[in-house]
Structure formats: structure tokens, C-alpha cells
Amino acid sequence: MLDAVVVGSGPNGLAAAITLARAGRSVLVVEANDTVGGGVRSAELTLPGFVHDICSAIHPLAKASPCFTELPLAEHGLEFVEPPAPLAHPLGDGTAVVLERSVDETAASLGVDADGYRRLMTPLVEGLDRLQPFLLGYRPIARRPISTARFGLRALRSAVGFANRFEGERAKALFAGLAAHSIQDLNRSPTASFGLVLALFGHAHGWPLVRGGSQQLADALASYLRSLGGRIELGLRVASTDELPKARVTVLDATPRQLIRLAGHRLTGRYLRALRRYRYGPGVFKVDWALDGPVPWTAEGCARAATIHIGGTLTEIAASESAVARGEVAEHPFVLVAQQSRFDETRAPAGRHTLWAYCHVPHASSEDMAERIEAQVERFAPGFRELIVGRSAWGPAEIERHNENYVGGDINGGVQDLRQLYARPVARLNPYSTSVDGLYICSSSTPPGGGVHGMCGYWAARSALKRFS
């Protein structure tokens, strides 16, 4: 009998499998797709020779992850590429606010808010070692409760409320773009937390991409798992846990909806009812382009960062995210852009480029946003459209077809608001355990939530390992 079967090879599934294998346990990973990685895959989506990241592209969380940093992934082919600046945010006046690695350099470009930004971020960056277990852990409990509480009080605010502490448009816009990663109405608590954490990780760890494509991160995790004796079976979609080989523990890199489908007949009525109350959030609409040259940004700063936040001012970005929260598409959407090929020549044929972008849309929306996304890029990079030689556009339905964890196009495995930040998928002392003995859940529908960090898988495996002691 196997020690463990893991269903799903996303970063959390692979992190769970590796954590179990490192503890000497026999592990089998079963994956529905023909390639490993879940949301960490790359493919030639447009034209031959253009490597596009199908889902995740930018990896501050992977770089910061205590789980990944202790693994010898470089020996298995992982190389992070660090652009000169983590992020650029173009504005209507032709300039860009740039989040630099250095807090001081970032502050220097914020005019009236320079001192305020420095006073806010410097202690957070200096105290990150104490905060990180809280940010990437599974309980809102910290070893240094006072400094964590100070952070928590700010983080609990709405992004709009928090951004309005700044006087100038530049700092407000920068913070709004960062906080919009929450995929929530920016007038709601705790959207400020997303802005603070992403700025903090930008200063402390950078916002890198992976040389050769995000797939290389998944491949490195898979290669390391195999070196530990773990096995991976691809192209096998599990319909019920009853189909799986006998194992002492089963770990599902799946969201509550799939947990119900895979094991609903074994769960208790109470747990099942709690799972059914779990809420999924808005979806995303994504476009990838093959380009005949680099994007001609008006603002110089945009050439120094792989990630570009497009949406203009705090007011514009907040309006875009509020529309989505109301169930409407935004006419001028906030767009997250990644230009990997500027910093990684392996992504496109010589002289040519790739571009990756998405915007938020209502859950399961069927609205085609490609035109609106292109108009937003063109607004800050006139001439962009003339460079397009190939295009791939995916709405929520295509994204979910590609990876069933993205229910209705929700890339975080469920809303990450106050109620579901730690109590995911249900409020339980050990959120990774289920009502079935030996059955665990490890996807981004568990704490600490969405993003490529593997910490959900790591904590789930740590909890499963207790059965072997």
C-alpha cells in the first residue's frame, strides 16, 4: 500500500507530494492534464517559437516561499529572472510610477508622499522575517503579536481608505494597482492587505519570472519529486476517490466543488453543508500576444519592469473593480500585464516578443474583453496594436476547461475576503483535514490562499504526516 496519493500537480499538489516524500513516504501524484504544473504551465499559445505562460507569470510568492526556498530547485533547472524593477504603473501624464527594489528609490518618485511611503514600508521590510510566518502560514497567530497586530490593523482596511492616506495621485495609483490583485471591491476590507503584502514582497524579494517559462518551475518541482522516489501519472482525471490506489493518506489539490464531486459520498453532512457554503469569486479574461517588437510604452519606466499595471488612477481602478464586484464588466478594465520576453530571450524568436495580460470579469462571464484590454494597452503604448502578429484569448470558460480548479474563471480557488481568508474551505482548527479520516485538501482553497507559493500543499502535508508518527 502507498503512503500517499496526491490528486493534482499544481504547485500545492507538488509541494505536498515533495513534503511527504522528503519525510520518507511513498507518493503517487495523479494529474488530469498531460503536463505537470496546474497554474504553472507554459505553451505555444499563439505561434511556433512563442512561449506563453498559460496562467501564472510573475513569481514574488514562489521566490518568498519558505517551502520552495529550502528545495534544491536550481539543480533541477529553475532559474528566476529578476527585472531591474518589480513593477511599473503608467499614468496619463506620460510618466510611470515604478516600484523599485529599494524603498528609498521608490519613495523618491512619489513627490509629496515620499516620506509617508518611506515611513510605512521601511519598518515592514525590516520586520519581514517576523511577519512572513503570519503571511504564509495558516492561522492568524504570530510569534511577535505586537508588530503583527500593527501590520494587521493597516491590512484590515479597505484599499481605497488606505490609499487615501497618501496625498498625491502617484502613490494612490500605485497602491490601488497592487491591491487590485485581491479581485474584490477595493472599498472593502481587507483589500489593503494585498497592496501591502505585494509591495513588501516587491521590495524584499523582487517580482521575478522564470527563465524559459513558468513551466520550468513546475518541471523543477516534478523532477525533484521524482529524484526522491515520487511517481507522477499524467492524463488521468480522477472522478471519485474510490478509483484511487489504496493509500494511507489522500491529498486533493482541488477546490471544494471538486472535493464534493470526488468524495461527497464519504463526507459527513455537516462538513458537506459547510463546503456548499464556500464562495467562489470573479473570473479573469486573459489575452496572450505574439508581437513583432517590444511594446512601445510612452513612459520610460515601463521598460524596466516585467509587470505593468494598467488602469490609471486610484479612482479609475477602484471603479473597474467595483463594477466587477457588482457583476458588470468594466468598460476601462484594470489590466495586469507581463512582458516576459524583454528579460528572457528564450520566450520568442529573435527580435520578437510575447505579452501576457488579464483583467477581472464577473464570475463565469462570457463577455469578450480582448478589445477593451487592447485599448487599455494602446492608451499607454500607442502603436502597440500594429505589432500584433498572433493572439490567444481565453475567458472564464476556457480557463476552467484548461484547469477545473478555476471555477467560473476564479484563479484564487475562492473569494479571499475576511470570512474566507483563513477559514478556507471551512472554519476548522485544521483547515486541511476533512471529515474523512486520512483525506486532506491542499489547494489554494486552503490558507494561505491563491498564488504560486506551495504553502497550502506544504501545510497540508505537514498535517497529514502526523498520521505516520
Ligand X SMILES: Cc1cc2nc3c(=O)[nH]c(=O)nc-3n(C[C@H](O)[C@H](O)[C@H](O)COP(=O)(O)OP(=O)(O)OC[C@H]3O[C@@H](n4cnc5c(N)ncnc54)[C@H](O)[C@@H]3O)c2cc1C
Window contacting ligand X (CB under 6 A); options: 169-177, 224-232, 384-392, 406-414: 406-414
For position 406 contacting ligand X by CB under 6 A, the verdict is yes
Nearer to ligand X, 109 or 412 (CB): 412
SS (H, E, C) 342-403: HCCHHHCCCCCEEEEEEEEECCCCCCCCHHHHHHHHHHHCCCCHHHEEEEEEECHHHHHHHC
Shortest distance in whole angstroms from residue 395 CB to ligand X = 11
For position 443 contacting ligand X by CB under 6 A, the verdict is yes
Nearer to ligand X, 40 or 110 (CB): 40
Shortest distance in whole angstroms from residue 98 CB to ligand X = 19
Site string for ligand X, 360-399 (x = CB under 6 A): ---------------------------------------x
For position 17 contacting ligand X by CB under 6 A, the verdict is no
Q: Determine contact, residues 3/206, Cβ cutoff 8 Å.
A: no
Shortest distance in whole angstroms from residue 398 CB to ligand X = 10
For position 250 contacting ligand X by CB under 6 A, the verdict is no
Q: Determine contact, residues 465/23, Cβ cutoff 8 Å.
A: yes
For position 254 contacting ligand X by CB under 6 A, the verdict is yes
Please pick, from the candidates 13, 195, 208, 256, the single residue that binds ligand X as defined by CB under 6 A.
13
Nearer to ligand X, 160 or 284 (CB): 284
Rounded distance between C-alpha atoms, residue 220 and residue 191, angstroms: 33
For position 436 contacting ligand X by CB under 6 A, the verdict is no
Please pick, from the candidates 5, 6, 10, 98, the single residue that binds ligand X as defined by CB under 6 A.
10
Total chain residues near ligand X (CB under 6 A): 41
* Near ligand X in 295-354, by CB under 6 A: none
Nearer to ligand X, 378 or 404 (CB): 404
Please pick, from the candidates 17, 20, 27, 38, the single residue that binds ligand X as defined by CB under 6 A.
38
Site string for ligand X, 265-304 (x = CB under 6 A): -------------------x-x------------------
CA angle 122, 123, 127 (to 5 degrees): 120
Computed on alpha carbons and rounded to an integer, the radius of gyration of the chain in Å comes to 21
For position 448 contacting ligand X by CB under 6 A, the verdict is no
Nearer to ligand X, 61 or 173 (CB): 61
For position 5 contacting ligand X by CB under 6 A, the verdict is no
For position 56 contacting ligand X by CB under 6 A, the verdict is yes
Nearer to ligand X, 109 or 132 (CB): 132
Shortest distance in whole angstroms from residue 450 CB to ligand X = 4
For position 405 contacting ligand X by CB under 6 A, the verdict is yes
Nearer to ligand X, 7 or 110 (CB): 7
For position 55 contacting ligand X by CB under 6 A, the verdict is yes
For position 411 contacting ligand X by CB under 6 A, the verdict is yes
Point out which residues bind ligand X (CB under 6 A): 7-13, 30-33, 38-40, 55-59, 61, 237-238, 253-254, 258, 284, 286, 358, 399, 403-406, 411, 413, 443-444, 450-452, 456
